[in-house]
Amino acid sequence: MSSSKSSPGAGGLIFFVFVLIALVPKPVWIALGIIAAVSVVTWALCKIAAAVEKRHTEAQERARIEQAALAADAKRQREERIRQEKQRRIDTLGKQNAALVESALSAVKQVAASEAARAGWLGDVDFSADITGITDNFEKAHALRGVIGKLSALDKPSAEDRKILAETKTTAAHLEVAAIERVELIGKCAKEAQLIDKSLRTEREDARVAEQRAELHAKLSAMLYGIEATPETNQQDSAVDAVMARVQAYREIKNQIQQARHGGNQ
C-alpha cells in the first residue's frame, strides 16, 4: 500500500527534474558545474592547508620540546661540572681554602665584566697565573697538613717528630699566607674596578648635566633676546591702558560738572 503511494511521488520528482533540465539553459548548468567544482577544489585545498599547518605546528612544538630538553640537559651537565669542580677543590685544598679560591674566581669575573676592563683602563686582566699560584699553594699546604695530622696522631712522638712537625707547619702557614694575600689583592682589584666604573658613570652623568645646562642656557638666552628685541607696541596698544585713560577722563569730566553745579547753586 505504501509502495503504491510512494511511486507516484518518486515519479513526479523524476519528472520535475527532467523538466528542470529541459527548461534551464545549458550555459547555466555549465556555470553551476564550474561553481560546484571550484567549491570542491577550494574545500579540498582548505583541508590540505589545514593539515599542513597542523603538521607544521606539531613539528614546531616537537622542536621546542627538544630544544627545551637539550637546554635543561646542558644546564644539568653544567651544574654537575661546577659541583664536581667545587668538590675537587674541597678535597685537594680543604673547605676553607676552597672557599677562598671561589671568592678569588668571583672577583676575577667581576673585574673582567667591569666597564673599566672593557674600556682598557685596567690593561691585561688575565688572572690565570694568579689563580694557578693560589691553588698550588693551598694544595701544597693542605697536603702538608694532612701528613702533619697523621704524624701527630702517632703515639710517643720523638724529638725528630716535633722538629719536622714544626718545620712543616711553618711551611704550610707560609704557603697559606702567600695565597691568602694574593686572594685579597684580587679582591682589591675587583673593588678598584667597581670604583672606576662608578667614576665613569659619574663623569657621564656630569657631562650629560653640563650638556643639558648649556642647552637650557642657550634657550633662555634666545628667549630673553627675543623679549628684549620686541618693540613696546604691545604696551602702547594695551587695552588696559586705554580703559584706564578713559576712566580717568570720565572722572575729570564728572568732577568739572559737579563743580559747575555747585557754582550755579551759589
Q: What is the DSSP string of 205-228?
A: HHHHHHHHHHHHHHHHHHHHHHHH
Map grid coordinates 674566581 to a residue.
105
Predicted pLDDT of residue 184: 95
Predicted pLDDT of residue 266: 57
Tell me how many domains the chain contains.
2
Predicted pLDDT of residue 251: 78
State pTM to two decimals.
0.58
Q: How far is CA 134 from CA 103, 104, 177, in A?
A: 12, 9, 10
Kindly state whether residue 254 falls inside one of the protein's structural domains. Answer: no
Average pLDDT of adjacent 10-residue blocks, the chain of 266 residues: 52 60 65 81 87 88 89 89 88 92 94 90 88 94 92 88 92 95 94 93 93 93 82 58 74 77 63
Burial string for 31-44 (b: 16+ CB within 10 Å, else e) reads: eeeeeeeeeeeeee
**Cα–Cα distance for residue pair 12/114, rounded to 1 Å:** 95
- Which domain-ending residue is among 92, 113, 133? 92
Same domain, 184 and 150: yes
Same domain, 110 and 155: yes
Kindly state whether residue 32 falls inside one of the protein's structural domains. Answer: yes
Kindly state whether residue 140 falls inside one of the protein's structural domains. Answer: yes
Kindly state whether residue 243 falls inside one of the protein's structural domains. Answer: no
Predicted pLDDT of residue 9: 58
Are 86 and 98 contacting, i.e. CB atoms less than 8 angstroms apart? Answer: yes
- Which domain-ending residue is among 92, 117, 142? 92
Predicted pLDDT of residue 1: 46
Same domain, 182 and 65: no
Same domain, 219 and 99: yes
**Cα–Cα distance for residue pair 262/260, rounded to 1 Å:** 5
Same domain, 104 and 210: yes
Same domain, 127 and 144: yes
Same domain, 56 and 119: no
Same domain, 64 and 149: no
Backbone phi and psi for residue 123, each to the nearest 5 degrees, phi listed first: 70, -140
Same domain, 138 and 194: yes
Kindly state whether residue 236 falls inside one of the protein's structural domains. Answer: no
Same domain, 190 and 206: yes
**Cα–Cα distance for residue pair 194/204, rounded to 1 Å:** 15
Predicted pLDDT of residue 3: 47
What residues make up the domain containing 32? 16-92
Predicted pLDDT of residue 143: 93
